[in-house]
Each structure stands twice: as C-alpha cells, then as structure tokens.
C-alpha cells in the first residue's frame, strides 16, 4: 500500500473525488473494523441527482476522511511480499 500517497490525499471537493477515495479505502475495508460506519458521512455526500457536483464540506466529513486515512496508514500496514526474499509461512 502507498501510505504516503494516502496521507497526502487532499480533501475531496467534488463527488468524483469522494468516489475515488472511497474506492481506494473500500479495497481495504475488510481490514478496517466498522468501515461502513466510519465512511457513512462520506457516502451520504454522494446521494442526490448530481453525479459530479461540488459538495459542502463540514467538520463531520473532515473527521470521517481523516479517520479513514489514519486507519489506512497506521500499523499494521499491508504490503505486497518481496519475492526476492525467502517466505516463511507460520503454523
């Protein structure tokens, strides 16, 4: 996972950017307890007729966005194995 890219991800301003962030975060949802509850405020921003419209950002959305970024970049961080090294599977 690219932790620096996630930490530097700017706050979304339009629905397309929110979808992009939720898509990235959603890929790792199984590793984040209560993902749907944390992401609910951001998901609610996507409701409505407009597909690409701007959104009115508030503290609630900032809190959800920052919480997801923190959970995605804090220990343990998932990463792809280095196949040049020996891999040991524990019993």
Does residue 21 contact residue 48 with C-beta atoms inside 8 Å? Answer: no
In-domain check, residue 17: yes
Q: pTM of this prediction?
A: 0.74
Residue 22 burial (CB < 10 Å; 0-12/13-18/19+)? Answer: buried
Q: What is the pLDDT of residues 37-85, one digit of tens each?
A: 999 999 988 887 777 777 778 899 999 999 999 988 887 766 677 888 8
Q: Domain for residue 84, yes or no?
A: no
Q: Which of 42, 10, 13 is nearest to 26 (CA)?
A: 42
Which CATH number characterizes residue 20's domain?
A: 3.30.70.270
**Domain-embedded: residue 79:** no
Tell me the C-alpha to C-alpha distance, in Å, between residue 72 and each of 30, 44, 61, 62, 84: 11, 20, 17, 15, 26
Question: What residue numbers bound the domain in which 66 lies?
Answer: 2-73
Whether 59 is in a domain gets the answer yes
Q: How many independent structural domains does the chain possess?
A: 1
Q: Per the structure block, which two tokens stand in for 37?
A: 């509850």
pLDDT value, residue 1: 52
Joined together, the tokens standing for residue 12 give 């979304």
């Amino acid at each position: 996972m690219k932790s620096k890219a996630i930490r530097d991800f700017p706050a979304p301003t339009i629905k397309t950017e929110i979808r992009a962030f939720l898509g990235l975060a959603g890929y790792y949802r199984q590793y984040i307890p209560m993902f749907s509850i944390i992401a609910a405020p951001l998901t609610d921003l996507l409701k409505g007729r407009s597909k690409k419209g701007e959104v009115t950002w508030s503290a609630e959305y900032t809190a959800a966005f920052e919480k997801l970024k923190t959970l995605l970049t804090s220990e343990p961080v998932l990463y792809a194995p280095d196949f040049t090294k020996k891999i040991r599977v524990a019993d």
